[in-house]
Amino acid sequence: MVSKKSRHRDPLVIRTPEGLYCPKAQAHIDPWRSVDCALITHAHADHARAGSKDYHCALGGEGLLKQRLGDQQITPHAYGDSFTRGDVQISFHPAGHVLGSAQIRLDDGDSVWVITGDYKRDPDPTCKAFEPVPCDVLITEATFALPIYRWPSMDQTMDQLFAWWDHHVRHQRTPVLLCYSLGKAQRMMAEIQRRSDRSVKVHGAVATLNRVYEQQGIDLCPWERASETNRGVSSDLVIAPPQVAGSSFLKRFHPTELAMASGWMQVRGVRRRASIHQGFVISDHADWNGLIQTVQESQATQVYATHGETRVLTRYLNEHLDIAADRLETAFGIEEGVDQ
């Protein structure tokens, strides 16, 4: 059982110049500066930074961390298995964000805190589904914490993607899907694999991470790395990170038609400003309903919101659900190219 008195105790997690810190465990969570011990929720650049002495992560995430951080001391832990540092039991629990992503549970015997990291509630064939973790205090992301953000079904979105793909191939244009190299690209390829025998061409940044996913047994659609020899219109979908828009990489497939897969594509003005022809609403973060569901299922009596629309979420929790909620400033989500 989770106690309901934690708001009256000294906090188990505090904010320091290096990042979120648990003094009793002498460990930081997703620190943004180098520290002795780093507990990592997932391998995206705003949560996993090189330079710390020791890293702990969920089993399944160590391959991506090694790819991202290089030669570091990394200890993986199976989901749900606990280990002890100081007076604190620590465990990792599925977050459903990307391969090996995790919520971090801290229990000092008096209170339980959970740091969600980034998470989503929608199914994803490339990672273990999110699991609610009861706690006294929840630190949750709030990237899409506005009521306008409500994700359509993946079946509906993939039908739209295939129709768009076929349309532009018929009109002798190369379909190009822009999405983040770690997580979103592999999710799209796994969804294509589940529905068809189509193949894709990928940017080199995507190819490198595809290999890590496949080493973990994740099934992706047939793919090849786009090379200098690939010239002219392609009937294969080309998957590349958003940074290549307008680059020489795309010119080799001219003429092209650009689309982007992101939760931000739900807002039409974002597509216009990014000069994107087509947007597919696919996010690796929880939508508004997913965020509210997660808070309620956590049974937390105190919530801290970070990484996004924190003001709206905390106001809603305080005024409509009678849950004590405050904003927590962090450095998550500010790295260039971080996926949404």
259, 251 Cβ separation under 8 angstroms: no
Whether the domain at 6-148+284-327 and the domain at 154-280 fall into the same CATH topology: no
pTM greater than 0.85 (yes/no): yes
Closest to 116 (Cα-Cα) out of 156, 150, 143, 151? 143
Topology given in CATH for the domain delimited by 154-280: Rossmann fold (3.40.50)
Q: What is the pLDDT of residues 307-338, one digit of tens each?
A: 899 999 999 999 999 999 999 998 887 544 44
* CATH number given to 6-148+284-327: 3.60.15.10
Q: For residues 201 and 206, what is the distance between their CA atoms, to the nearest angstrom? A: 10
> What pLDDT is recorded for position 31?
97
308, 145 Cβ separation under 8 angstroms: yes
Could you say which DSSP state residue 264 is in? Answer: G
Q: For residues 251 and 332, what is the distance between their CA atoms, to the nearest angstrom? A: 33
Per domain, the residue ranges of the chain are 6-148+284-327, 154-280
Question: Residue 168 above 80 pLDDT?
Answer: yes
> What pLDDT is recorded for position 340?
54
122, 97 Cβ separation under 8 angstroms: no
Q: Omega into 255 within 30° of 0, i.e. cis?
A: yes
Closest to 28 (Cα-Cα) out of 7, 6, 52? 52
Q: For residues 204 and 244, what is the distance between their CA atoms, to the nearest angstrom? A: 11
| Predicted confidence band of residue 78 (pLDDT cuts 50, 70, 90) | very high
